[in-house]
Structure 1
Amino acid sequence: MVHQYYLGLTSSSHTVIFEGHEYWQYLWPSVAVWVIDRVLRVVRLFYCNFHVAVTGRNKIHTTRSRMTYDQTADVIRLVVAPGTKLLQPKPGDYYFLYQPFRFVGWENHPFTVGAWAYDADPSAVGSASFGKLNGSMDASHLPLLYAVAPEQEAEDLSESAGEKTAASRLKLVFWIRPYDGWTRSLRQQCLHSKEGVVDTTILLEGPYGHNFPLWRYESVLLIVGGTGIASAAPYIQDHLRRSARGEESLDEKSRIRDMELVWTARQTAFLHDVASRELRPALGREDFQASLYVTRNPTESPQELVDLGCQVRAGRPHIQSLIMGRVCDAAAAGLSLAILVCGPAGIADEARAATHLAMRQGYRSIKYVEESFAW
C-alpha cells in the first residue's frame, strides 16, 4: 500500500502542471512543428518517388531499385532509379531510405549517395568521356561516376521496369554494410534470391546534407574507412568533372593539384569492386593517387588492385604520419590543404588529433572536414 500511494503521488505531481491548461501555450507550438515536419517529409517522399508525365506511353514514373549482396566483401550494393527527374545529386548528399512493403515500412535510415550516373543514348555516351566532353551533350547529364558495370546495371534496371526511353534517367548507388535490423533483412533477401539480385521497392526521402567546396583547395587528403568511401568518391569524381576540358556548366573550375585517397577496409573484394568501377576514371591520373589498406585476410593477392594503379598495404595506416607528411609538403609548396575524414571513431579521433597537432606547430592553412560515419 505504501508503494502504491507513493506511485500515485508521483504521477499526480507530474501531471498537475497541465491542469487549467496553464502550459498549453508551450505545448502546442511543439506539436505544430512536429506536424509540419511530418507533412514536409511526406511531400519529399512523393517528390522523389513519383512523377506524372504529360506525354509518352508511361504517364506515371515510380522509383525502381535493385540490390546485390557480395558475400566476400560483405556489402550490399543498392542501385535506385528515382521516380522524379528533378533531382540534381552532388557530393555530400544523403537520403533516408524506406522499404514500404514491410510490417514496419515506416522505418527509415540515412545513407550517403556514393555514386550516380545517367542513362543516355549509347551512341552519345560512346562519343564522350571525362577527358573530352561532347559539346552537344548536356554536361549535367553525363555519368558522374562512369564505369561499364554500373552503366550496365542502370540499363538492366530500366529494361526490367519497361522504361526503355531515349530520355536520360538518374541512378543512385548506395553501399550498405549489413548489421542488425533492416540491413540484415536486406542481406537475407539477397541470399534467398536465386541469382543474388533482388528487384525491390526502396523509396527515397531527401536530399539532405551539405556540399563542401573541396575544389577550392590545391591539395586534398581523403581519409576514409569501410563504407565511408561513399563520402569521398563523389568529391573525387566532382574533381574530374571540374577538371575536364569544355566543362562550361559548372560555376567554378577545380583548383586541386594533388589529391590523395587513403582508404582502409576489411576485405580486398570491396576495395577491388569500388576501385574497378567508381574510382577507375581517377586511377592513373597525375594529380590523383590511392593508398588502400586491408585489415582482414591481408594475404589475399592484391595484384588486380596494383594493376589498376593503387598502392595496397596490409594493416592500418599511421594517420598522424600521413597528415603531418601531407601538411609539410603543402606548406613547402605554398598550397592550401583540405582534409576530409569519414570512418570509424578511431580513425576520426586520430585524424582530428593529428590535424590539431599540425596547427599548433604553425601550419594554419588547413581545412579539416569530418563526415558522420553512422546514424
Structure 2
Amino acid sequence: MSMSGMDMSHMDMGAGVPDLFYLQKMYWVVVGSAIAAATVVNVLNRFLAIQRLRDSTLTPSKPKSLFFSTYATITAIVREISYVTLPPLRLRGRIFHFAPLGPLAIILANLVVVLVFCFYKLDTTDQWKWEAVGYRTGFVALAQLPLIFLLAGRQNIIGFFVGMSYERLNWFHRWIARTLWLTATIHMCFWFRSWGRYNYIVYQLTHDPFAKRGFAAWCILTFIVLSSAAPMRRLSYEIFVLQHLVTFVGFTVAVWLHAPAEVKVWVWISIGFLVFDRVARYAWATYTNLSLFHPKTKSHTLWANRASFTPLPGNITRITIENPGVRWKPGQHVFLTCHSVVPLQSHPFTISSIPEDNKMEFLVRAEKGGTRRFFNYASKFHNILGSGDPAPTKQARTVFLDGPYGRIRPLRQFDSVVLIAGGMGITFALPFLRDIVAKWRSECDGTSPANPVNLAATRRLRFIWVIKSRAQLSWCETQLQSVLADVQACQRAQPDRPREIDLSIYVTCDEKLEQPTQSITTTQHPGTAVVVDGDEKKTNSEDISIHSIDKSSTGGCLPGGGCCCTAAVEDEDEITQHNCTCSGHAPQLPAETQISEKPTEGVKSELEVEDSAAHYLPIVSGRPQPRTIIRKVLERAEGESAVVVCGPTGLSDDVRRSVVYLSDDRAVHKGTGAQGIYLHVEKFGW
C-alpha cells in the first residue's frame, strides 16, 4: 500500500510483463467494446420498432427479410440462454432467488477479465513478485472506479447508449463494486504478505500515511459492500441512502489520498461522471418543477406541481398531480418529494396513469417511514377509516419531481403482449395496457396521423392481475372497465381489423374475507350513503360502480379439502361450475374476456348507477399458471410477442422460467416458424 510514495511511470515489471498503465487502458478497451456491442443492438431494436409501426401488412411484427429473420434467430437463442434462472434455494425457512444467467454471465465475464489482468504473467509463488502483484492489482482496481460511477448515475450515459434504465444498471453497479472490493482485498493482502516476511504489517499501518489511507479506503469499501446487501437496504430505504452518500464521499477522498499521482486521473474521471450526473439531474429538475417553464399548468406559485392525497383500501395512497410539468411514457417512475408531509425525503413511485389522462397518478402502499406518513396524511383529510365526521376540504400540497426514469422497448411494436401483475405490480402493467388500447382507439376514431401507418402493431392483449382481495379492485376498476369499453368500440368501428383483449383477475385467499358475507365493490361519491346488509355507511371516494354478487356459490372449499383461492388454476377455459367464495364471494365469470352489456343487478342501493351497461371484470379464484396462459397467446401469435411481469419475486421467477421453457419447447426461430418472445421483468420493491 506504499505505492503512493513512488513514481510508477518507469517501473519495470519484468521481461514480457505488460505495463501497468497499458493494462488499465486494456480494461477499458474490453468495457468499451461491450458497451459498443450493446449500443448496436439497441439501435437495431429502435429501427425495428419504427419499421414495424410503418408496416401496413396484417403481420407487421413478423420478420420480412433475410437479415431480420437471421437477427431474430440470433436474438431468440441469446434470450433463451440469458433468461434461464436457477430454482430458488430454500434454507431455514428463507427463500433465496438467483439472477438470470444473462446478467450473471456479464458479471462473471468482468470478474474473469479483472483477475486475468491482475495476475497475467506474474508468478504469485515467487515472494519477490508479491509487491509487483500488489502494484498491479491496485492499478486494476483504480481502473474500475469510473465504471462504478457511470453505472450509479440516474442520468445514465451507459443507459442512453444501450437502452437500459439506471435501476437495472444499478444491479451491475453493485456487483462491479463487489469486484472492486475483491481486487482491493487482493491488493492489500499481497502487500501484507510482503510486509509479513519481516513482521512489518503493524509498523506500516501505524507509521506509513499511504498505508493508513489505503487501509481506511478498504475499510470504508467493505462497509459499503456489506450495507448495500438487499436485506440491509430493505431495513430502511432512507437510512441506506443517507449512509451510502456519506460513506461514498469518504471512500472517494481516501482513494484519492492513497493513489499515486500518475493514476489520480482515474479518480478525477470518476468525480467528473458524478458531477455530470448531478448537474444534469438538477437542471432537469429545475425545468420540471418551476412554473416559469410550464405556463399551461396555470400555477400561481413558484412551483409547478401540486398533489392531492386520497386513501384507498389496503393501506394505499393515491397521489394525483393535475397537469404535471413533465411528460412520461408507460412504465416510467419519478422520485417524488413533498416536504410539507415527509420532509427531506425522496421516494421512487411508478406512474400508474398515462399522458392522455393529463394527470400523473401514483398508487403507494403504506409500509413504513415516508409512505406510511403519506397514508396517514391522506386518511386525516378524508376520514374514510371509521370516522363519521364530514371530510374536510381536500388540501393539495406542493411536490417536487425528479424524473421520469425507466426504459423498456415500446410494447406496441409486438404482435401479442402478455401483461402479468401481482398486487401493486398493477401500477407498472396497467399503463401499458391503457396505452396500447388508447392507440387502438385513436386509430378507430381517425385521429391518428397519416404516418406512421400504425400507432400500435399489437393485435392481441392478455392481461392478468393477481390480488388477495376484491377490495383491491377499487384501485383501478374504472380504468379496467374503460379499457374494455374502448376495445368494444374499436371492434364495432373496424370489425375487419383484429384487435383482441383477454383480461382476468385472480383473487387469492384473504383470511379477513373467509366468512361468506354479501360484498360489493364500490367507488363512491363524497359524502354519499350506501346501504349494505341493512347498515348505512358513509363513503368518501369519487366514482360509482357497483357489481352484483353471485349468491349461488357452493362455498370456499374444494371437494378434497383446502381453500379454492390457493389452488392453481391449470386452465381457465375448463372452469364451468364451481364458484369460490373464500375471498369474498368473487363471482366466477367465464375465463375468456367478456365485454358484456348486461346491467348489474341484485344489489339494492340508494345510489343510481349512471352507466347501466357496466362491463364485468372477469374474476377467477385461485393462482394462475403463467406457462399455460403464455402458451395460449404464443400459439396464436403472428409475429414477435412480449411478456411483461411485475410482482413478487416468486411470480416473476415463475414467468421467466415459463418463457424459457416455451421458447425451447417451441424452438423459437430455429426452423419451426414460431415467433420470438421478448421478456421484461420489472423488479418488485427495493
2:350 corresponds in structure 1 to 112
Q: Report the Cα distance in structure 1 between the residues aligned to 2:683 and 2:628, rounded to whole angstroms.
A: 23
- The residue type paired with residue 292 of structure 1 is I
Do 1:327 and 1:363's aligned partners in 2 also have CA atoms closer than 8 Å?
no
Superposition map of 1:208-357 within 5 A: 208-244=405-441, 245-249=445-449, 251=452, 252-276=454-478, 278-284=479-485, 285=487, 287-295=500-508, 296=510, 297=513, 298-302=582-586, 308-330=615-637, 334-357=638-661
C-alpha separation in 2, matches of 1:108 and 1:268 = 31
Contact 1:338 1:368 (8 Å CA) reproduced: yes
Q: How many residues align?
A: 315
Q: Displacement of 1:77 after TM fit?
A: 0.7
The answer (yes or no) to whether the contact 1:337–1:367 under 8 Å persists in 2 is yes
CA pair 23-113 structure 1, distance change in 2 beyond 3 A: same
Seen in structure 2, the aligned counterparts of structure 1 residues 104 and 272 have a Cα distance that, compared at 3 Å, is closer
1:62 match: secondary structure: coil
Q: Where does 1:41-190 land on structure 2 (aligned, <5 Å)?
A: 41-52=281-292, 58=300, 60=302, 62-70=304-312, 72-81=313-322, 84=325, 87-101=326-340, 104-105=343-344, 107-116=345-354, 144-145=356-357, 170-190=358-378
* Conserved? CA contact 1:241–1:247, under 8 Å: no
Q: Is the 8 A contact 2:646 2:681 kept in 1?
A: yes
Seen in structure 2, the aligned counterparts of structure 1 residues 335 and 19 have a Cα distance that, compared at 3 Å, is closer
Mark the CA change 1:209 to 1:11 in structure 2 (over 3 Å): closer, same or farther.
same
Secondary structure of 1:109's match?
strand
Question: Does the aligned pair in 2 maintain the 1:189–1:198 contact within 8 Å?
Answer: no
Secondary structure of 2:363's aligned partner: strand
SS at structure 1 position matched to 2:401: strand
CA contact (8 A) 2:462 2:633 kept: no
Q: Which string of whole-angstrom CA distances, capped at 9 and with x for unpartnered residues, describes residues 146-166 of structure 1?
A: xxxxxxxxxxxxxxxxxxxxx
**Structure with the larger RCO, 1 or 2 (CA within 8 Å, 6+ apart):** 1
More strand by share: 1
Question: Which residue number in structure 1 is paired with residue 518 of structure 2?
Answer: none
TM-score (normalised: structure 2): 0.42
**CA offsets, 1:317-355, max 9 Å, x none?**
11222222322343xxx4542211111111110001001
Matched-pair contact (CA < 8 Å) for 1:293–1:314: yes
The alignment partner of 1:263 has SS state of strand
CA-to-partner distance for each residue in 1:268-322, whole Å, 9 max, x for gaps?
122233022x222212535222110122234314459996322212232112222
CA distance in 2, matches of 1:176, 1:186: 8
1:29 partnered with 2:272: no
Change (3 A) 1:228 1:20: closer
Letter in 1 for 2:314: A
- Shift of residue 83, structure 1, vs aligned partner: 5.4
8 Å CA contact 1:97, 1:204 repeated in 2: yes
- Indicate the residue corresponding to 2:398 in structure 1: 201
SS in 2 for 1:281: helix
State the SS of the aligned residue for 1:350.
Answer: helix
Which structure has the greater CA radius of gyration? Answer: 2
Q: How far apart, in 2, do the equivalents of 1:263 and 1:57 lie?
A: 37
Deviations 1:84-130 (A, max 9, x none): 3xx3322122111112346751x32222211146xxxxxxxxxxxxx
What one-letter code is carried by the residue in structure 1 that aligns with 2:448? E
Relative to structure 1, the CA distance from residue 194 to residue 335 in structure 2 (aligned partners, 3 Å threshold; closer, same or farther) is closer
| Superposition TM-score, scaled by structure 1 size | 0.73
Structure 2 distance, partners of 1:219, 1:320, is 15
Bigger fraction of residues in helix: 2
